[in-house]
């Protein structure tokens, strides 16, 4: 199945788009974390590819979790940390990181910074920003 270009769906502004609350896999709202859905589409293999902007208030964090597929995170603003394979990595504006699907990982803001931590999240497969299936929390 070949997707047809549809500018109503395939051109999305991540700066001015409507922010949505993100949910944990149990349906609870993730405090201090909002997302703006970007462009997404099923590719020829039947897998969805897409990008979203995630805005994390100071002090907010994603618990350790996994996704159905791999993704790349790109830091737009501020500073934060990504926890992968037992290690916290400092992330600053302009950094990108590839996160393999099999690794539990977490993202948190840098508590010494007062501005929101903003990242782009590119995923394959992509899950809708407000989906309960977007991530599965890993309990320690």
Average pLDDT on 11-23 reads 94
With helix as H, strand as E and coil as C, how does the chain read?
CCCCCCHHHHCCCCCCCCCEEEECCCCCEEEEEEEEEEEEEECCCCCEEEEEEEEECCCCEEEEEECCCEEEEEEEECEEEEEECCEEEEEECCCEEEECCCCCEEEEECCCCCCCEEEEEEEECCCCCCCCCCCEECCC
Residue 75 is assigned to a structural domain of this protein: yes
Residue 12 is assigned to a structural domain of this protein: no
Here the CATH number for the domain that contains residue 57 is 2.60.120.10
Q: What pLDDT does 128 receive? A: 87
Per the structure, the complete domain to which residue 50 belongs is given by 19-137
Residue 93 is assigned to a structural domain of this protein: yes
Share of the chain above pLDDT 70, in %: 97
Residue 4 is assigned to a structural domain of this protein: no
Residue 6 is assigned to a structural domain of this protein: no
Tens digits of per-residue pLDDT, 80-110? 999 998 899 999 999 999 998 888 999 999 8
Average pLDDT on 40-45 reads 87
Q: What pLDDT does 1 receive? A: 52
Q: Domain total for the chain?
A: 1
């Amino acid at each position: 199945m070949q997707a047809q270009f549809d500018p109503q769906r395939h051109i999305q502004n991540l700066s001015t788009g409507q922010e949505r609350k993100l949910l944990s896999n149990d349906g609870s709202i993730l405090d201090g974390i909002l997302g703006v859905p970007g462009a997404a589409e099923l590719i020829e293999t039947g897998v969805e590819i897409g990008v979203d902007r995630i805005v994390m208030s100071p002090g907010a964090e994603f618990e350790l979790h996994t996704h159905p597929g791999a993704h790349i995170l790109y830091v737009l603003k501020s500073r934060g940390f990504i926890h992968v394979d037992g290690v916290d990595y400092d992330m600053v504006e302009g950094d990108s990181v590839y996160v393999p699907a099999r690794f539990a990982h977490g993202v948190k803001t840098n508590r010494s910074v007062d501005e929101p931590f903003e990242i782009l999240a590119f995923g394959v497969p992509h899950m809708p920003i407000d989906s309960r299936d977007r991530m599965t929390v890993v309990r320690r």
